[in-house]
Amino acid sequence: MTLTAHAHFDVIDPADESIISAVPDHGPADADHAVEAARSAAPAWRALSSRERSDVLLRAFDIMMSRRDELAALISRENGKARADALAEVTYAAEYFRWYAEEAVRVRGEHFDNPTGSTKVLVSHEPVGICVLVTPWNFPAAMATRKIGPALAVGCTAILKPAAETPLTALAIADILEEAGLPDGVLTVLTTRSAGPLVDRLLEHDDVRMLSFTGSTEVGRHLLERASRRVLRTAMELGGNAPFLVLGDTDVDAAVDGALLAKMRNGGQACTAANRFYVHDSIYDAFADALTERMRSLHVGPASDATVDVGPLVNAKSVSKVRELVEDAVQRGARVLTGGEAPDGPGFFYPPTVLADVPADARILHEEVFGPVAPLVRFSSEDEAVAAANATIYGLVSYLYTDDLRKGLAIAGRLESGMVALNRGLVSDPAAPFGGVKESGIGREGSTEGLHEYLETKYVATNW
Ligand code: NAP
């Protein structure tokens, strides 16, 4: 369901800064209407059989896949990502609908005798209630379906607040769900350029019971504080600072393939993007040369050109942040092996960049660069590399390359992150629990665990 609003705001194409479209600028009054719609729709949606809810999601999956090209073009247009990245995102996003259509019919409870034999313990799971879903611009389709899928599967109703940069994809997904048979009011999309007041208002409503947020740790902290006032259930997918470790026994070509995927998916604008590379001294030069060669050969340009590998960053602020972090590293002694200079506009482009010998105090090793820059650091002992990898407030994902699987699994156990990619450049998988430890978040999305974020456990004590 979409609401009418008084004002609109522009959506910009980051490749040429032209206006693509305008969308409603919803405010607090619209938040009240959306909560009312979610409240009214809740009893009937919850009363449907899980099979009926599952069928809606499955139809939505089919429609998304049948419109893959069209949706990918829309994502590229408002987010800037290259065509191949956008196509991959549509498939990834649609798979959350399929996965949760399959999970919807398998929510199970428990029944057992307590240890003294005096009571029967009956455990069931119920939808948590109205959910507020807040998503970022970097995966405008997948971050939305990863929340909508489980919420709707278990019988919750929801309000989605997409990022101001990428509202069109969220609106397109809402249309697809409507076409798939989703009743009015079960999902409302509120687009806005004033996220704070709108989300604050949503979280104040007595009927809202959950906040699921994906975005920066900074905004996540603020929202946790707001959510605590009403003791809301929260699921938080926050920022990362992923280390990429390459041990001395590694096949360099395989590690470079993985590095390219882990760094350059979505032009480096992924929470899972490898943010810093620790490479063993014995293969450091070979790795640096091969990675530089591959980064230099990437074709940068607008996604409308199908041969482009890397699109623009999402906005001017992102380019400034990347430029600032690169300049800081260079001032502290890092060497630029390729890239390092943003071209003039129009468009928010930054070239694939490799920095060698980045000193430990460079900001880029401690802050999310969220752009196509690979800082390299040499190490000589594995303990030193693990200590450096863990020296961060974040703990979303770590990457590790080694030809010794036994050693790899042992080191994976020592890495402080919710996910480890062992000899792979990608972890995202709807069937697997996605999420971080430390200040990278609370809770998991995807897998069965993602479903339980939207369920309350009810225990009935009884004798019969
Ligand atoms: P962001 O600035 O935190 O924004 C995320 C969402 O929160 C947007 O919809 C934004 O709306 C909204 N928002 C901003 N300020 C708010 C406020 N005061 N109250 C309520 N909502 C508010 O993050 P981003 O720049 O869009 O995304 C990049 C970040 O997301 C990175 O840190 C990345 O690591 C993280 N991320 C994490 C995951 C994960 O799964 N862990 C996945 C993807 C991205 P506006 O757009 O209107 O500002």
204-231 pLDDT, tens digit each: 999 999 999 999 999 999 999 999 999 9
> Ligand 1 pocket test: which of 214, 325, 444 has the largest number of ligand atoms within 8 Å of its C-beta?
214
Q: What is the mean pLDDT of residues 247-257?
A: 98
Q: How many Å apart are CA 456 and CA 464, to the nearest integer?
A: 24
pLDDT confidence tier of residue 167, bands split at 50, 70 and 90? very high
Using the predicted structure, report yes or no on whether residue 308 has a pLDDT greater than 90. Answer: yes
Dihedral pair phi/psi, residue 421, rounded to 5°: -100, 110
Q: CA end-to-end span of the chain, whole Å?
A: 45
Q: Find the 162 Cα to ligand 1 centroid distance in Å.
A: 9
Q: How large a percentage of the chain has pLDDT more than 70?
A: 99
Q: Report which residue type is found at 253.
A: D
Which position has the token pair 């003294």?
Answer: 116
Q: What is the mean pLDDT of residues 147-167?
A: 98
Q: What is the mean pLDDT of residues 427-435?
A: 98
Instruction: Write out residues with Cβ below 6 Å of ligand 1.
Output: 134-139, 143, 161, 163-164, 195-196, 199, 214-216, 219, 222-223, 237-240, 271, 368, 396, 436, 441
In ligand 1, the atom with minimum distance to the C-alpha of 194 is 47
In ligand 1, the atom with minimum distance to the C-alpha of 370 is 31
> CATH topology of 8-237+439-462 equal to that of 242-428?
no
Per DSSP, the three-state class of 455 is strand
Q: What is the mean pLDDT of residues 274-302?
A: 98
Of 78, 89, 95, 237, catalytic: 237
Of 271, 368, 445, 453, catalytic: 271
Q: What is the mean pLDDT of residues 249-259?
A: 98
pLDDT at 219 (0 to 100): 98
Using the predicted structure, report yes or no on whether residue 2 has a pLDDT greater than 60. Answer: no
Atom 42 in ligand 1: residue holding the nearest Cα: 271
Q: What is the mean pLDDT of residues 400-415?
A: 98
In ligand 1, the atom with minimum distance to the C-alpha of 139 is 43
pLDDT confidence tier of residue 463, bands split at 50, 70 and 90? confident
Q: How many Å apart are CA 237 and CA 418, to the nearest integer?
A: 11
Q: How many Å apart are CA 404 and CA 248, to the nearest integer?
A: 10
Using the predicted structure, report yes or no on whether residue 252 has a pLDDT greater than 80. Answer: yes
Contact status, residue 93 vs residue 149, Cβ threshold 8 Å:
no
Contact status, residue 20 vs residue 8, Cβ threshold 8 Å:
no
Q: What is the mean pLDDT of residues 34-50?
A: 98
pLDDT at 392 (0 to 100): 98
131 flagged as catalytic: no
Q: Which residues contact 61 (CB under 8 A, 6 or more apart)?
A: 94, 95, 97, 98, 101
pLDDT at 6 (0 to 100): 72
237 flagged as catalytic: yes
Looking at every residue in the chain, the average pLDDT score rounds to 97
- This prediction's pTM: 0.97
Q: How many Å apart are CA 408 and CA 385, to the nearest integer?
A: 13
Which position has the token pair 């919710």?
Answer: 418
pLDDT confidence tier of residue 5, bands split at 50, 70 and 90? low
Q: What angle do CA 44, 46, 52 make, to 5 degrees?
A: 90
Q: What is the mean pLDDT of residues 274-292?
A: 98
Contact status, residue 120 vs residue 5, Cβ threshold 8 Å:
no
Rounded to the nearest 10 degrees, the angle between the axes of helix 405-414 and helix 382-390 is: 40
Where do the domains of the chain lie? 8-237+439-462, 242-428
Sign of torsion over alpha carbons 429, 433, 437, 439: positive
Kindly state the helix (H) or strand (E) to which residue 185 belongs, with its residue range.
none
pLDDT at 1 (0 to 100): 58
Pick the CATH number of 8-237+439-462 from 3.40.50.970, 3.30.70.2970, 3.30.1330.10, 3.40.605.10: 3.40.605.10
Q: How many Å apart are CA 118 and CA 16, to the nearest integer?
A: 71
pLDDT confidence tier of residue 4, bands split at 50, 70 and 90? low
pLDDT at 345 (0 to 100): 87
Token pair for 231: 């003791």
pLDDT at 404 (0 to 100): 98
Pick the CATH number of 242-428 from 3.40.50.20, 3.40.309.10, 1.10.150.120, 3.40.1360.10: 3.40.309.10
